[in-house]
Amino acid sequence: METPLFDQLARRGSEFLGVRYPIICGAMTWISDAHLVRAVSENGGFGVLAAGNMDPAQLADEIVRCAESLQVPFGVNLVTIAPNFEAHKEVVSQSRAPYVVFAGSFPNRRDVAEMKKAGKKVMAFASTTSIAQQMVRFGVDALILEGSEAGGHIGHVTLTILIQQVLFEEPPVPVFVAGGIACGRMIAHMLLMGAAGVQMGTRFVMSEECRAHERLKQAFRNAKAREAVETPQYDRRLPVVAVRALRNRAMEDFGRLQLKLMEKLDRGEIDRAEAQKTVEEFWMGGLRRAVVEGDIEGGSLMAGQSVGLVDKILPMKEIFGELLNDAECELRRVKALLSGNNKVP
């Protein structure tokens, strides 16, 4: 596909990632396996393997599958608040994975230094201005500016605001953007505003190559944007990293779990660290029930608000074709408008 305008704007991101198109498939626990990473990579995008809370030996095997089957770079997503985080870091540092993406919460300076010493390029999420600045000070090679519209673990600031607060300040590293992006026209405008590329997750769940349960995909197909809601935090004593998912019974169960844990904290039966671990285990288990078992009521249906923009399950090749064609057409339209020509070629 000929995309000269897109290629011109996307050059920095493409060169940083080492792929044809700087379109990242966000890592989704139980979804972003070696199979999905390969499907994205074969169509010119950048695949990211989700470590989640995978057994470390299994993670090592998945990384080997990616390394042996791909001709282009890929990343591994490490969840900093996962129980197996330290073991995952060790696996990745010894692996052939060229990129690391820290997620869930934020890496400390030591985490970043360890991965860079192991020869990895490090990417980290930023959900506020101060976090973006801190990640740059810690030495990350690129930022992923993620708005609260995204699915899974999120911050509380929308991408629209983060673009103005962070992207427009032109940090010294490539900045990829995420949250609420589902179509090529939006990708075009993100590049025009200075983004090195974009990350999408929900859109790629709706690919034929994605191995998520069909009931999960049907739930996505039928969902409206407003049904992808973020989890509340009831008490400051029990900090909760917000999660955006489709409203269902599991969301209500999570609220009741928080109340139960706070009662135990009041009675001194558990400490805060144990309570937070229980919270994370709830989402880890709930996500598996939804993605693997197809329990769309008792499982966690993590999805971004862009779920309201996807209603078709397509081959990955068609998804990329549509995204790139729409992005190139939009850039032609903008070029024509700027030249004073209202007729798009």
CATH code of the domain containing 318: 3.20.20.70
Q: Which domain range does residue 115 map to?
A: 4-211+314-338
> What does the alpha-carbon distance between residue 13 and residue 255 come to, in Å, rounded to a whole number?
40
User: Residue 327 domain-assigned?
Assistant: yes
**Does residue 328 lie in a domain region?**
yes
**Furthest-apart CA pair in the chain: how many Å?**
71
pLDDT at 81: 84
* Residue that is written with structure tokens 């598996």 in the block: 288
Q: What is the pLDDT along the chain (345 residues), one digit of tens a residue?
A: 799 999 999 999 999 999 999 999 999 999 999 999 999 999 999 999 999 889 999 999 999 999 999 999 999 999 998 889 999 999 999 999 999 999 988 999 999 999 999 999 999 999 999 999 999 999 999 999 999 999 988 888 999 999 999 999 999 999 999 999 999 999 999 999 999 999 999 999 999 999 999 999 999 999 999 999 998 777 777 877 788 999 999 988 888 888 899 899 889 998 888 887 888 778 778 889 999 999 999 999 999 999 999 999 999 999 999 999 999 999 999 999 999 876 655
Confidence at residue 271, expressed as pLDDT on a 0 to 100 scale:
87
User: Is the domain of 164 the same as that of 292?
Assistant: no
Would you say residue 344 lies in a domain?
no
- Let me know whether 229 and 178 are in one domain: no
Q: Are residues 294 and 179 in the same domain?
A: no
* 155 domain residue, yes or no: yes
pLDDT at 341: 75
Say yes or no: 62 and 177 in one domain: yes
Same domain, 136 and 23: yes
* The residue count for the chain: 345
For residue 345, tell me if it sits in a domain: no
Task: Return the pLDDT at 344.
Answer: 59
Would you say residue 24 lies in a domain?
Answer: yes
Whether residue 110 sits in one domain with residue 46: yes
Asked if 256 and 183 sit in the same domain, the reply is no
Number of structural domains found in the chain: 2
Q: Tell me: do 33 and 71 sit in the same domain.
A: yes
Which pLDDT score, from 0 to 100, does residue 236 have? Answer: 77
Q: Indicate whether 178 and 76 sit together in one domain.
A: yes
Q: Are residues 54 and 87 in the same domain?
A: yes
Whether 343 is in a domain gets the answer no
**Quick one: pLDDT at residue 335?**
95
Quick check: is 263 in a domain? yes
Residues 67 and 170 in one domain: yes
CB 208 within 8 A of CB 316: yes
Predicted confidence at residue 243, as pLDDT, reads 87
Q: What is the pLDDT of residue 342?
A: 67
| Judgement on whether residues 270 and 321 belong to the same structural domain of the protein | no
